Amino acid sequence: MSKNLRINNKQFIDETRKLSFIFNGKKLYGYKGDTLASALLSNDIHLVGRSFKYHRPRGIMTSGSEEPNAILQIGNDDALTEPNVRATEIELYDGLICNSQNCWPSVKFDIGGINNFLSPLLPAGFYYKTFMWPASFWEKYEYFIRKSAGLGKSPTKQDPDMYDHRYMHCDILIIGGGVSGLIAAKIASDDNKKVLLLEDKELLGGSLIYDDNDISKIDNQKSSEWLKKLIENIKNDKNIIIKTRTSLAAYHNYNFLLARQNLTDHLSVNDRNNKIRQRLYKIRAKKVIISTGAIERPQVFHNNDRPGIMLASAVKKYIDYYGVRCGLENVIFTNNDSAYETALSLHKSGTKLNAIVDIRNNSSSEIVNKVKSLGIQIYWNHTIVNTKGYKRINKVTIMKLNDKGNDVVGKKIELNCDCLAISGGWTPMVHLFTQSGGKLKFDNKDNIFVPDKTNLNQLSIGSAKGDFELDDVLKNSIKDTKKFLQIENSNFDKIDVKCSKEKEKKNIWLLPSDKPLSKTKPFLDYQNDSTAKDIKLALREGFKSIEHVKRYTTTGMGTDQGKLANMHALGIVADTTNTNMGDLGTTTFRPPYTPLTFGTIVGRNVGQFFDIFRKTPMHDWHVDNNAKFENVGQWKRAWYYPKDGESMHDAVQRESKAARESSGILDASTLGKIDIQGTDANEFLNRVYTNAWSKLQIGKCRYGLMLNEDGMVYDDGVTTKLGENHYLMTTTTGGAANVMSKLEDYLQTEWPELDVFLTSVTDHYATASVCGPNAKKIINKIFKDLDLSDESFPHMSFKEVKLGNINCRVMRISFTGELSYEINVEASYGKYIWEKCIEAGKEFNITPYGTETMHLLRAEKGFIIVGQDTDGTMTPVDLQMDWIISKKKYDFIGKRSLYRSDTIREDRKQLVGLLTDDPNEILEEGAQIVKDENKKPVNMLGHVTSSYFSPTLKKSIALAVLKEGKKLKGQKLLVPMIDKTIKVTVSDTVFLDKENERING
């Protein structure tokens, strides 16, 4: 710790706990209680990065979340490294490793610094103008821009840290633990309210807690002493839950808020093991009090961005809180009284203050008089016209302002300094208020936007509301909180506050220089390198709306959301266009207020918890038998069962051959199942399906097709009549929940007169489907007493039988075209019945098959899969399924749409079969079909929806949707692929067993 920069401060810094850290490869030291920024400053390091566009050297500027420059890469571990961390926000821990981001090859010698000399060539909109044309070059430009600009590196490995989410409910949420938030918390608690108090720093108290001047007094005590007692009181208050290191990320409607708590980021890496790193609170508050304070504005003048130029309030905090001098030769530049507190802190700590430059003509407030009495040189009505020092400021040049304040006069005066503390007044932190939908109003007196109208049950107090002087802050906070909570009296009613009162105000958004504006660099947005010149250029080029100016110049678009820059940008636009700032409106602040890690957002929903998944009762059997799984909706379905290293193709060929030649078994438990009961159940089915249901007898099954009201196919499945007023509907696996919701919607809202009750029973039953020529023999072995003759148990019928105590519903229905039985049992017996079938089928080589083989088998028969062969634009007529549309029924869902002008077009895409001229050539699903591939633009006629190699037919088969497909049977068409063109012939959709003989075994 060189140059005597550390001042003894035992209050907030623990000098008994020395911590080592590494910055850009160099080992340095700080103390427990430091932020990374204060530790760097105590090592006389200001230069921490390079600016985004001009690569100018930049230093630590602030002491909080508004920091535009000191954003560093923390850590060097591939999984744990984190970019864009503000040195001003991260607490120092032992072993911290950090690096500057935006510089290459090093922060001290930066190749991009040449941009600084080229800056006349890099005006606002430069990237837009230069790199957007031709569009095809964008990828190349982007590479170079990213390489030379680079805002940090993302971790490349999975985040090993744990994150957490928690819900919180409270009567009063208070955001910000400064003096006004603390007073509000106490008033609310005294009224027996449940209070949640959030503070983003590690300690409560805001800026008043380290206030060390003798001018402000509360109840005749030093204000910081008074505040410490209040904090002790609040810490012991059972009504108040305090969360420190917790920053509010988002304020949504209905007082729903998200806050992020840092739990381990301040610990040394070894102490973090097995601890939750960050927690996201999802908060519902009956009432919200915003006491987020204010941030200081810089001033805008030529070369106002050099390392060593800092906000005056930050210089004060580094001295009074961290015990760190930011420089040994200080100059203050201000337009208001608050910087005089910094002057007092510098003086009290024995730090040299060379001069104060104040653009006002004079001030005679108590605090200014005190500074005057110390003999400190004050240059009234002066401004800085230039600064010097490349990697650290060493001089400022000042000149006198003219009467209007728009030019400088007289002689130049040079002042030495290694730290320039600047203050341009204060801006209330209204970000959360506006995020929540609140409207702002402009206060001409202080040149600030303050909260105005809100629809929510919320209140802004303290400097977040625009009160800057201690007596206003306290008295208004007390008064407003009482009113907000409808309380008559509080323990603070007789509070006595003494403080200095500011009497003179003056504000110049863009300070004049002795050089023309075109020759100067007055920075607004330090992170994005936009200057006052850029704003003026944007206005000259015709941009009027502040939102457009902001995007064109990138002002306020950085990771700090322009917390420092926005007011000056608005002010300069207003001045240039002669508009009142209040009429310009502000830009919108969007969540998150400060950046959130992805880990916090995702919480515990990572890895296997990323999404829920559903397993059938037979799942373990599939796993034991080497099944590969596919995701169908949330279900894990057995896809195929490779044997001895078979490929998927080989396994599917074997499985489908077995199903056709002897027997196969499929786990069909995932199909959606809806139990339908009620005296109007039959009428209900008539209304929701396209075909007629009136004549279905008990014990019989029927296939149904369901449309949307627009006439497009929505779902399909078999429904069984279990009893007079009792049906079991099956739906597609993926469509189950949607079908249930849709049917429930119609019942409740369109047809409330129907006596029908729907119950989702998908999870209640397990289904084993046994198919193939030997299926009957296998079922017979299991259910010995069941009459399986075609007369007693024909295709599309159902029997209820018992296997021991197990109730089994056996349906003879087929999705493969083979003789097939589906056994439905209560889910808990699913694996038992499955194993029974496997055992009984052993002698017939019963072969478990997965969804892929099922798809192949049904495609051979031309059965559609809703969602694969249809895409929400196919009517039953398009599918050549006219037979399923009842002509007799007066109405059903989607009927009217089947003869809209669009749905009766003959040139719609229609479902057809495709055969490749080379029977071994398998088409790719999704491949386009054309007639002529030479005439450009090529006319796309349709695409392949399903495609397989059929081992039974020994050739490739495909289903496709094709324009006017019905008319094109026998036509030769082309399927162009990247390396060849495949010749195909349009065919019927049924490839196998057109006579449906296999259905009877």
Partner 1 sequence: MFLINCPYCGERDQSEFVSGGEAHIARPKQPTELNDDQWAEYLFMRKNIKGIQFERWNHAHGCRKWFNVARDTSNDKIEKIYKMGEQPPKL
Note the residues at the interface with partner 1 (CB under 8 A): 252-254, 256, 284, 437, 455, 709-710, 741, 744-745, 748-750, 752, 890-891, 895-897, 900-901
Give the pair of three-digit tokens for residue 429.
């932190």
Q: Is the Cβ–Cβ distance between 798 and 812 less than 8 Å?
A: yes
Single-letter residue type at 152: G
- Structure tokens of 333? 């530049």
* CA proximity to 782, closest of 826, 846, 833, 831: 833
Judged by beta carbon, residue 437 or residue 592, the one nearer partner 1 is 437
Residue located via tokens 């103008």: 129
**Quick one: 471 or 763, whose CB is closer to partner 1?**
763
Smallest distance from partner 1 to CB 758, Å: 9
The CA–CA distances, whole Å, from 252 to 432, 599, 840 equal 9, 21, 61
Closest CA to 312 of 329, 299, 293: 299
| C-alpha–C-alpha distance, residues 30 and 33, integer Å | 9
Task: For residue 225, give every residue at least 6 positions away whose Cβ sits within 8 Å of its Cβ, in sequence order, or none.
Answer: none
Q: Pick the closer one to partner 1 by CB: 644 or 891.
A: 891
Q: Is 218 helix (H, G, I), strand (E, B) or coil?
A: strand
Q: Which is nearer to partner 1, 378 or 874 (CB)?
A: 874
Closest contact distance (angstroms) between CB of 759 and partner 1 is 11
Write out 937-981 in H/E/C secondary structure. Answer: CCCEEEEEEEEEEECCCCEEEEEEEEECHHHHCCCEEEEECCCCE
CB of 866 to partner 1, least distance (A): 21
Q: Are strands 419-423 and 329-334 parallel, antiparallel or unpaired?
A: parallel
For residue 682, how many other CB atoms are within 10 A of its CB? 19
Minimum CB separation of residue 715 from partner 1 in Å reads 18
Q: Whole-angstrom Cα distance, residue 34 to residue 209?
A: 16
Nearer Cβ to partner 1 (244/454): 454
Look up residue 369 and give its two tokens.
């008089």
If the CB atoms of residues 252 and 395 are measured against partner 1, the closer one turns out to be 252
Place of tokens 């079991």: 728
β-bridge mates for residue 382, sequence order: 400
* Shortest Å, Cβ 182 to partner 1: 28
Give min distance, CB of 729 to partner 1, in A. Answer: 17
Residue 199 contacts residue 246 (beta carbons within 8 Å):
yes
Comparison of 143 and 609: residue with beta carbon closer to partner 1: 609
Q: For residues 504, 510, 512 and 517, what is the CA-based torsion angle, rounded to 10 degrees?
A: 180
Quote the least distance from Cβ 268 to partner 1, whole Å.
37
| Those residues with Cβ within 8 angstroms of residue 624's Cβ, 6 or more apart along the chain or in another chain | none
Contact 74, 82 (CB under 8 A): yes
d(CA 830, CA 824): 8
CB of 588 to partner 1, least distance (A): 15
Residue whose CB is less far from partner 1, 364 or 748 = 748
Q: Percentage helix, strand, coil, to 5, in the chain?
A: 25, 30, 45
Least distance from partner 1 to the Cβ atom of residue 288, Å: 14
The least distance separating partner 1 from the CB of residue 646, rounded to whole angstroms, comes to 43
C-beta closer to partner 1: residue 749 or 920: 749
> Within a 10 A sphere around the Cβ of 820, how many other Cβ atoms?
28
**Looking at beta carbons only, is 194 or 282 nearer to partner 1?**
282
Minimum distance of partner 1 from residue 225's CB (angstroms):
42
Nearer to partner 1, 751 or 832 (CB): 751
Are the CB atoms for 156 and 80 separated by under 8 Å?
A: no
CA 435 to chain centre: 16
Please list, residue by residue across 85-99, b when 16 or more beta carbons sit within 10 angstroms of its beta carbon and e when fewer do: bbbbbbbbbbebbbb
- Beta carbon of residue 432, minimum distance to partner 1 (angstroms, whole number): 16
Nearest distance in Å: CB 731, partner 1: 17
Q: List helix spans (H) across 711-752.
A: 736-745
Question: CB-wise, 887 or 980, nearer to partner 1?
Answer: 887
Closer to partner 1 by CB, 297 or 742: give it.
Answer: 742
Considering the complex, state which of residue 127 and residue 751 has its C-beta at the smaller distance from partner 1: 751
| Strand, helix or coil for residue 346 | helix
Cα 950 to Cα 939: distance, rounded to the nearest angstrom:
30
Min separation Cβ 252 and partner 1, Å? 5
CA diameter of the chain: 116
For partner 1, give the closer residue by CB, 328 or 456.
456
Nearer to partner 1, 133 or 899 (CB): 899
User: Is the Cβ of residue 71 or residue 893 nearer to partner 1 in the bound state?
Assistant: 893
Q: How far is the CB of 282 from partner 1 (least distance, A)?
A: 9
CA 650 to chain centre: 43
Nearer to partner 1, 225 or 750 (CB): 750
Distance CA 923, CA 306 (A): 65
First to last CA, the chain: 91
Q: Please tell me whether residue 33 adopts helix, strand or coil conformation.
A: coil
Tell me the torsion sign for CA atoms 722, 728, 729, 732: negative
The two beta strands, 701-707 and 928-930, are unpaired
CB of 285 to partner 1, least distance (A): 11
Nearest distance from residue 259's CB to partner 1, in Å? 14
CB of 903 to partner 1, least distance (A): 10
DSSP helix/strand/coil, 203: coil
Q: How far apart are CA 324 and CA 318, in angstroms?
A: 5
Give the closest residue to 195 by CA, choosing from 253, 244, 156, 234: 234
**Cα 974 to Cα 986: distance, rounded to the nearest angstrom:** 10
